[in-house]
């Protein structure tokens, strides 16, 4: 089936008792045992599994062409489950511009448990120099947040496989509509489902999708079940519902982002636009080869200092100054402020989550703020 069909049908199950077309929300925390002590409904206790979570995980796995999926209460919880599954002393290689929430997890929560290096994973020589005998995971984030760097997934996978190292790819910015990391050789894909999967800035969630049901995957599943950082049945229901429109929403985000990036690139007050769909992007060729579309996120650097960026934001009328991304409304933020004193982000960079408003209105709003 095509991905639009998968998005609609793989996360839904007709209710056999009522014949309702849409699966109901099952709030029960426990499930009846059969006479022989088995569980005829397939569920024991809702921390372990739930009908709504099963439906959500089914559609997540199929969207990424994976063998299985695990859903979590947030993207950070999903990422943490990967780190928690690793033996103490494991070395992790991650991008130098890794999403700050997960970077801070490693630095603050896993210091003394895991070792880690934040490097330019796009530099093959640097990457190989940092591989140790105890390196267990290379973490990728492509496109990256907020610099929109593109990493050649196949190239990194080839290096990792030769050393028996697992590759995890944060696919949040791209979504499975724009990129399929498992098909490019990654072992695991991570998503903050809060973003494009939810799509309306009103629920939280995280997801992991695996290429195979390995022993490592079973360990991650144990972390999910025993740790209990799971989404509620209601959140699972609404995520599965939102995913039904994911392919068409992402197409709209991509179209608007491309046009907005082209406008910004020509504006005299803009020094640089970071969007993989632009020929000027340093890794545009790689993006064309490994991405199905270029995503709905972009960043741009204004000519001026931090005060100039805040002045631009303050004059905007349609773009909301807010963190997060992937909703139908356009958001903008001064990313360096959000990331704090150890940020690697330029102080005159603005990150934009391009929404689904009419592109003419978005361009007009940015134009009046920049002029």
End-to-end CA distance of the chain: 48
**Helix H segments across the chain?**
3-9, 51-63, 75-84, 100-104, 124-130, 153-162, 175-178, 215-227, 233-243, 246-266, 284-290, 306-315, 335-339, 359-370
Catalytic status, residue 99? yes
Sign of the alpha-carbon torsion through 355, 346, 177, 208? negative
**Annotated catalytic residue, options 68, 99, 152, 351:** 99
**Annotated catalytic residue, options 68, 97, 152, 170:** 170
Sign of the alpha-carbon torsion through 170, 201, 78, 50? negative
Q: Quick check: 186 and 168 in contact, CB under 8 A?
A: yes
**Annotated catalytic residue, options 47, 154, 219, 244:** 47
**Annotated catalytic residue, options 62, 103, 195, 351:** 195
Residues in the chain: 371
Phi, psi for residue 260 in degrees, rounded to 5: -70, -40
Query: What is the number of alpha carbons within 13 Å of residue 279 lying toward its C-beta?
Result: 0
Catalytic status, residue 195? yes
d(CA 270, CA 309): 11
Q: Which of 37, 295, 346 is nearest to 141 (CA)?
A: 295
* 361 Cβ neighbours under 8 A, 6+ residues apart: 318
Catalytic status, residue 170? yes
Looking at the annotation, which residues are catalytic?
47, 99, 170, 195
């Amino acid at each position: 089936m095509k991905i639009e069909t998968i998005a609609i049908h793989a996360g839904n199950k007709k209710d056999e008792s009522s014949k309702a077309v849409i699966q109901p929300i099952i709030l029960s925390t426990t499930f009846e045992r059969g006479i022989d002590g088995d569980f005829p409904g397939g569920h024991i206790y809702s921390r372990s599994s739930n009908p709504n979570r099963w439906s959500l995980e089914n559609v997540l796995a199929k969207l990424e062409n994976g063998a299985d999926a695990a859903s979590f209460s947030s993207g950070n919880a999903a990422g943490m489950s990967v780190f928690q599954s690793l033996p103490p002393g494991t070395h992790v290689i991650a991008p130098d511009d890794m999403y700050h929430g997960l970077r801070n997890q490693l630095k603050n929560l896993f210091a003394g448990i895991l070792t880690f290096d934040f490097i330019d994973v796009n530099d093959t020589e640097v990457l190989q120099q940092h591989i140790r005998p105890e390196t267990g995971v290379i973490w990728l984030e492509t496109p990256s947040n907020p610099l929109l760097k593109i990493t050649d997934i196949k190239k990194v996978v080839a290096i990792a496989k030769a050393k028996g190292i697992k590759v995890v790819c944060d696919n949040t910015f791209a979504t499975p509509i724009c990129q399929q990391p498992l098909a490019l050789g990654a072992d695991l894909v991570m998503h903050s489902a809060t973003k494009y999967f939810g799509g309306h800035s009103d629920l939280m969630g995280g997801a992991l999708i695996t290429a195979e049901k390995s022993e490592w995957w079973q360990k991650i599943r144990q972390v999910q079940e025993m740790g209990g950082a799971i989404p509620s049945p209601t959140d699972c229901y609404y995520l599965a519902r939102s995913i039904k429109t994911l392919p068409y929403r992402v197409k709209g985000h991509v179209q608007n982002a491309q046009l907005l990036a082209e406008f910004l690139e020509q504006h005299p007050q803009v020094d640089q636009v970071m969007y993989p769909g632009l020929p000027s992007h340093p890794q545009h060729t790689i993006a064309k080869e490994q991405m199905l579309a270029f995503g709905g996120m972009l960043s741009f650097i204004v000519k001026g200092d931090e005060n100039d960026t805040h002045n631009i934001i303050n004059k905007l009328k349609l773009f909301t100054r807010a963190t997060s991304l992937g909703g139908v409304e356009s958001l903008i933020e001064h990313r360096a402020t959000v990331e704090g004193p150890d940020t690697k982000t330029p102080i005159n960079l603005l990150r934009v989550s391009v929404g689904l408003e009419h592109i003419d209105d978005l361009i007009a709003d940015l134009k009046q703020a920049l002029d």
